[in-house]
Amino acid sequence: MWVERERRCSTRHQLNVEVDVVDQFSRDLLGVLVDIHLEGLLLMGELSFRPDRLYQVALVPRTSDHQLDVIPMGIDCLWTRAMGQQDRVWAGCQIVDLAPQVGEQLARLIEDFSSDHSVPAVRVFW
Domain housing 54: 18-113
Domain assignment of residue 12, yes or no:
no
Q: Considering the domain boundaries, does residue 8 fall inside one?
A: no
- Is residue 1 a part of any domain in this protein? no
Is 2 a member of any domain?
Answer: no
How many distinct structural domains can be found in the chain?
1
pLDDT for res 2: 36
CATH value at residue 70: 2.40.10.220
Q: How many CA atoms, within 13 angstroms, populate the side-chain half-sphere of residue 117?
A: 7
Q: How confident is the model at residue 107, as a pLDDT?
A: 92
pLDDT at 10: 63
Put residue 67 in one of left, alpha, beta given phi > 0 → left and psi -120 to 50 → alpha. beta
Q: Averaged in consecutive runs of 10 residues, what is the pLDDT profile of the chain (126 residues)? A: 44 86 94 94 88 95 77 96 85 95 92 69 40
Listed residue (57, 72, 66, 12) closest to 36, CA to CA: 12
| pLDDT at res. 79 | 94
| In a domain? residue 57 | yes
Assess if residue 44 is contained within a domain.
yes
How confident is the model at residue 9, as a pLDDT? 56
Per-residue DSSP letter, 116: T
Q: Can you give the pTM of this predicted structure?
A: 0.80
Q: Where are the alpha helices (DSSP H) in 1-126?
A: 100-113
49/31 Cα distance (integer angstroms): 9
